[in-house]
Amino acid sequence: GAVVSQHPSRVICKSGTSVKIECRSLDFQATTMFWYRQFPKQSLMLMATSNEGSKATYEQGVEKDKFLINHASLTLSTLTVTSAHPEDSSFYICSAIPGTGSYEKLFFGSGTQLSVL
């Protein structure tokens, strides 16, 4: 089946540094990818929708200058947490849809646990 690879699975960084998380669709082209964050014991919160070749659409309350999303190809989207602070510590998950406009399954990455010291 289709696979979404997310890397790294865990990252620890110092406050003020930037962290990049990659999301790749391994065997399909993903016109649309989604980025979520999840706090402990809470549901997934949609941060932004990423469309290949265009600017990401951010949800209300998500700072686009803080969470930079790039979807430069049909198989890769990246989320960069800029100037990370401890409150940015969270579990980040990406997902991708094979075939825009279809009712195909969504596939999720395995997630990235970000810890900001």
Partner 1 sequence: DAKTTQPPSMDCAEGRAANLPCNHSTISGNEYVYWYRQIHSQGPQYIIHGLKNNETNEMASLIITEDRKSSTLILPHATLRDTAVYYCIVRIPYFGNEKLTFGTGTRLTIIP
| Sites of contact with partner 1 (CB under 8 A) | 4, 6, 31-32, 34, 36, 43-46, 49, 51, 54, 57, 91, 93, 95, 97, 100-103, 105-111, 113
CA atoms within 13 A on the CB side of 51: 7
Q: Which is nearer to partner 1, 77 or 95 (CB)?
A: 95
User: Containing H/E element for 114?
Assistant: strand 112-116
Rounded to the nearest whole angstrom, what is the least distance from the CB of residue 42 to partner 1 in the complex?
8
> Cα 7 from chain centroid?
10
User: Measured on CA atoms in the order 66, 71, 45, 87, is the torsion positive or negative?
Assistant: negative
Q: Which is nearer to partner 1, 82 or 113 (CB)?
A: 113
Rounded to the nearest whole angstrom, what is the least distance from the CB of residue 116 to partner 1 in the complex?
17
Nearest of 106, 113, 101, 96 to residue 26 by alpha carbon: 96
Q: Which is nearer to partner 1, 31 or 82 (CB)?
A: 31
